Amino acid sequence: MPAQLTFAGAAGGVTGSCYHLAFDGASLVIDCGTFQGGRIADELNQRPWPFDPAAVTALVLTHGHLDHCGRVPLLSDHGFTGPVWGHAATLDIAMLIMEDTAKLAAHSDGPPMYDRDSVARVRERLKRHPGYGKKQAIGPFTVELFDAGHILGSSHVRVSWTEKGSERAILFSGDIGVVGSPIIRDPTSSWSPENAVDWVVTESTHGDRNHPDRAAARETFRDVIQHAMLDGGKVLVPAFAIGRTQEILFELDQMITAGEVGRIPVVVDGPLGLSATQLYRRHKGCYDEDALEQLDRGDHPLDMDTFVGARDGRASSRVSDLRGAAVIIAGSGMCNGGRIRRHLAENLDDPKTDVLLVGYQGARTLGRALEDGVREVWLDGRQVPVRARITRISGFSAHADQEGLASWYGSLPTKQGGTTFVTHGDDEARDVYSRLLRDRFGARTAVPMLDDTVTLG
């Protein structure tokens, strides 16, 4: 029987990535992420699996963001006992994310999705993939990773198998990074004919839009910092702890070193962001040439004299006592949880405050509400007026824009007659990008919905 693919997440939205590939009595789960965005997301996270977790041979992670790995312990609690494969940096980051999720759940009012014991059981089954461009046999499948340029260790995952004497292959894009992003290498754009694939599962987060160039984004960022230093206001940056926080630190370090802005305190508030930054310092094998050259000069791209780390709750509370201008970077990136909410509650009503939205803001999140210009928000059990300046900087996005996605797709060695499945995007973005792939490349595309199963014939 031909292989079957089930879309168990990120089909109709940008979170909850999860794909189930079954063939010849074996199966792989590619990613197992948390749905995010309010009550609907909570219900999706607790729904029954559209496959039997106990029958899954192995799980493969494209990268360590919450929306790609956050439900792995839950899958384990429901019967999955196989290995969890990924790039070494991905596994390190995923463990940080899962441990943080369990820690936060233990202190929340609602029922936890899983606990620390569940995370500990996952840790025992982690398996490091041999690395980019290398092959790993898993049951009847061969799994290869290629650099996705999104965050440290992020990967495109190629899965191949032999069917009726011929090789079949599918490529899962994971999250596709932006060419020219600092620290890490660009997404893979040079492919061998041996890497040809019959099917592609591609993300489409920004499939309906293009980013302003990075220079423009950097100029806007610099202007906001300079303005804050003049009026003494706080600059609040909601940022994912993994990837975006380190990118913002890099840009600030470059501006301070070049004298473009003055010496301003830069606070990373939260243990996850601080631990992730340590991982970025450790996994130098993922760095691009510019970052490696900077290291050779004795200047680490993530170090600055004005850096302040607030790891525990007491240190976080002291951040509120800072007088004058300061940059405060805290999770979560969409403002739906984490320490950024306290800083927003304390500062949104101050017209001297700047809120920099440097990443995608999902539907039904506080970040999206701020981006859309809401005048009042509910925080800390009260209505808080929004008098702060809200600035969206999409040029720092870690997701490729429409042209970046199309350029990446155009480099792929796709075989004739296969289907490209457009996932991991809001419906409008998926539809627009799907049409672009058909018109520009003649691709056969499909826009699957949650729990759809297709036969890869």
CATH code, domain with 358: 3.40.50.10890
CATH number assigned to the domain comprising residue 187: 3.60.15.10
Q: Report the pLDDT value the prediction gives residue 236, as an integer from 0 to 100.
A: 97
Same domain, 173 and 304: no
Q: Report the pLDDT value the prediction gives residue 321, as an integer from 0 to 100.
A: 87
Structural domain harbouring 269: 214-396
Same domain, 174 and 40: yes
Same domain, 254 and 369: yes
What is the Cα Rg of the chain in Å?
22
Q: Report the pLDDT value the prediction gives residue 360, as an integer from 0 to 100.
A: 80
Q: Going by C-beta distance under 8 Å and a sequence separation of 6 or more, which residues neighbour residue 398? A: 150, 151, 175, 177, 178, 181, 243, 244, 247, 359
Q: Report the pLDDT value the prediction gives residue 214, as an integer from 0 to 100.
A: 85
Q: Furthest-apart CA pair in the chain: how many Å?
A: 70
Same domain, 233 and 157: no
Contact call for residues 391 and 190 (beta carbons, < 8 A): no
Give residue 18's Cα distance to chain centre: 14
Same domain, 345 and 403: no
Q: Going by C-beta distance under 8 Å and a sequence separation of 6 or more, which residues neighbour residue 142? A: 135, 136, 159, 160, 161
* Nearest-10 Cα torsion for 288, 217, 174, 419: -120
CA distances to 185, 255, 375, 391 from 395, in Å? 17, 16, 25, 12
Residue found under tokens 């879309």: 7
Q: Considering the chain, what is the average pLDDT of its residues? A: 94
Q: Report the pLDDT value the prediction gives residue 296, as an integer from 0 to 100.
A: 86
d(CA 235, CA 263): 14
With a cut of 90, say whether residue 302 has pLDDT above it. Answer: no
Q: For 134-158, what is the mean pLDDT?
A: 97
Contact call for residues 394 and 214 (beta carbons, < 8 A): no
Same domain, 322 and 389: yes
pLDDT, tens digit, 9 for 90 and up, residues 392-444: 987 788 899 999 999 999 999 999 889 999 999 999 999 999 999 999 999 99
Q: Which of 150, 174, 185, 206 is nearest to 394 (CA)?
A: 206
With a cut of 90, say whether residue 244 has pLDDT above it. Answer: no
| Domain end call among 348, 364, 396 | 396
With a cut of 90, say whether residue 83 has pLDDT above it. Answer: yes
For residue 28, which amino acid is it? L
Q: Sheet harboring 18-23: ordered strands across?
A: 126-128, 84-86, 58-60, 26-32, 18-23, 3-9, 453-456
| Domain end call among 396, 417, 448 | 396
Q: For 308-329, what is the mean pLDDT?
A: 91
Cis upstream peptide for 332 (omega within 30°): yes
Q: Which of 150, 147, 93, 127 is nearest to 280 (CA)?
A: 93
With a cut of 80, say whether residue 38 has pLDDT above it. Answer: no
Q: Report the pLDDT value the prediction gives residue 313, as an integer from 0 to 100.
A: 87
| Domain end call among 377, 396, 415 | 396
Same domain, 96 and 129: yes
Number of compact structural domains in the chain: 2
Q: Write out the two tokens for 150.
A: 């999104």
Secondary structure string (H, E, C) spanning 251-296: HHHHHHHCCCCCCCCEEEECHHHHHHHHHHHHCHHHECHHHHHHHH
Where residue 37 falls among pLDDT bands split at 50, 70, 90?
Answer: confident
d(CA 279, CA 95): 12
Q: Report the pLDDT value the prediction gives residue 425, as an integer from 0 to 100.
A: 96
Same domain, 77 and 154: yes
Q: Report the pLDDT value the prediction gives residue 363, as an integer from 0 to 100.
A: 80
Same domain, 100 and 16: yes
- Residue 306: Cβ within 10 Å count: 15
Q: How many residues are recorded in the chain?
A: 457
With a cut of 80, say whether residue 109 has pLDDT above it. Answer: no
pLDDT, tens digit, 9 for 90 and up, residues 196-231: 999 999 999 999 999 888 888 899 999 999 999 999
Where residue 388 falls among pLDDT bands split at 50, 70, 90?
Answer: very high
Q: Write out the two tokens for 370.
A: 């701020």
Q: For 285-297, what is the mean pLDDT?
A: 89
Where residue 457 falls among pLDDT bands split at 50, 70, 90?
Answer: confident
Same domain, 308 and 332: yes
Same domain, 377 and 406: no
Q: For 115-144, what is the mean pLDDT?
A: 97
With a cut of 80, say whether residue 107 has pLDDT above it. Answer: no
Where residue 94 falls among pLDDT bands split at 50, 70, 90?
Answer: very high
Q: For 55-74, what is the mean pLDDT?
A: 97
Same domain, 273 and 335: yes
Task: Determine what percent of the chain is predicted with pLDDT higher than 70.
Answer: 100
- This prediction has a pTM of 0.89
